[in-house]
Amino acid sequence: MSSTLYVERASPIHRLNPVTKLVALLCLLVVVFAIPQWWASLAVLLLVIVPAAISSGVAARLARSAGQLLLPILVVLVLVQGLTYPGGRTVLWQWGPLALTTEGLMFALTIGARLVCLVLASVLLVLTTHPGDLMSALTEQGMSPKFAYIISSTLQLIPSFQARATSILLAQQARGLTVPSNPLRRLGVLMPLLGPLVLGMFTDIEERSTAMEARGFGSTARRTTLVPVRDTRAQRVARWVIPVLALAAILVSLRWIG
């Protein structure tokens, strides 16, 4: 069972150096959260994230993975902010103390658009970047192997957690565990499985730590990459140009708004 969300494809996005994609992700998020307008997030979504997802061939997987996480958050955001926004003046619908206002909906739209960009861009990076390649690329750029491993292992945390949870559930079902369809009863049945899940994750961390120590992970000697990550002069230039463009977009937008 795979411990990463990475999807193997022969796309231009997959062939990019992981550091280039990471720089682009960080700059996109800075732009989205620095410009206090919902249209900035929408522009980033439609002009950057969606074309990148389509060209990389992971659009369907991206929509499915991100939708499961975003849908409940967006519904709660619209209900809470739309009905209880303190600065609301234009009332569209009211029921007792709850009032659906235009200002609340616009605030929910702004925050929701930022969250959509954050989640979609992050998941797209995970789907198109192998954790091993990311760690190698960061190490080649001079980052400490320990910090590179922290970033790389973070990308594998959720799929690894899901894989272990699935294996525990299948093992218990093989022993006669019945999972009811009622959500509340299902929660009561699955709660006892949290113990083996958490203990198993701690065991996995200890095994990884032992394996890394046996391979000299803490050594300060210069390392040689077994499989060098592809990089080009154009990408090295782009890693400097992208932050400059992001800063320019922020300055122009804030000046225009002001």
Q: Do residues 90 and 72 make contact, with C-beta atoms less than 8 angstroms apart? A: no
Give pLDDT, residue 55: 94
Residue 168's CB: how many other CB atoms inside 10 A?
A: 17
Number of other residues whose CB lies within 10 A of the CB of residue 61: 16
Q: What is the pLDDT of residues 64-123, one digit of tens each?
A: 888 877 888 888 888 887 777 777 677 777 776 777 777 888 888 889 999 999 989 988
Residue corresponding to tokens 């990076």: 125
Which residues make Cβ contacts (< 8 Å) with residue 193, sequence separation at least 6? Answer: 165, 168, 169, 172
pTM over 0.85: no
CA distance 152 to 149: 5
* Confidence at 136, pLDDT banded by 50, 70, 90: confident
